[in-house]
Amino acid sequence: MRSVVGLLLTLLIVFGTYKLFFAQLQSTGSAAPTRTIDVAGVKNDLVSIAQSERVYQAEHSTYGTLDQLTSSGAMSMEKKSRDGYTYQAELSASGFRVVAYCPVAANPGCSNYVIDDTMAISTLP
């Protein structure tokens, strides 16, 4: 009799843990994996644009706008956006900075990302 009660108690604990785990999993929603993939794509685009800036600077002794990078062949990426993020190059004589802006109204909780001539990606406040 004790073994049956012990087995039922163990099953109750396992079922409660299982239910709690899946309740938390469902509350996070399915957008988290998609957002992670989108952010990885945006960061890859930023690295690609920054490398294109370096190529353009080596050929023209100046940094170029996104249109100049595309038209010169330094950058093969034709779209200036990805999944709501838009890209903008900010140029100076001594360097560049490319920003990926996220529309917070359309995608709450997203972050803006930036890469500069140090090739380091960081978030903007």
Q: Say how many C-beta atoms besides its own lie within 10 A of residue 87's C-beta.
A: 19
User: Is-contact 80 105, C-beta < 8 A?
Assistant: no
Which residues constitute the domain of residue 51?
A: 34-124
With tokens 């108690």, the residue in question is: 9
The answer to whether residue 24 is domain-embedded is no
The answer to whether residue 39 is domain-embedded is yes
And the tokens for 86?
Answer: 């838009």
And the tokens for 12?
Answer: 């109750």
The answer to whether residue 7 is domain-embedded is no
pLDDT by position in tens, the chain (length 125): 778 888 888 888 888 787 777 666 555 554 555 566 678 889 999 999 999 999 999 999 999 999 999 888 888 876 777 778 889 999 998 999 999 998 777 677 788 999 999 999 999 87
Residue 39 has a pLDDT of 84
Residue 36 has a pLDDT of 64
Residue 38 has a pLDDT of 78
Residue 46 has a pLDDT of 93
Residue 88 has a pLDDT of 92
Q: What is the pTM of this model?
A: 0.69
Count how many domains the chain has: 1
The answer to whether residue 13 is domain-embedded is no
DSSP type of residue 94: S
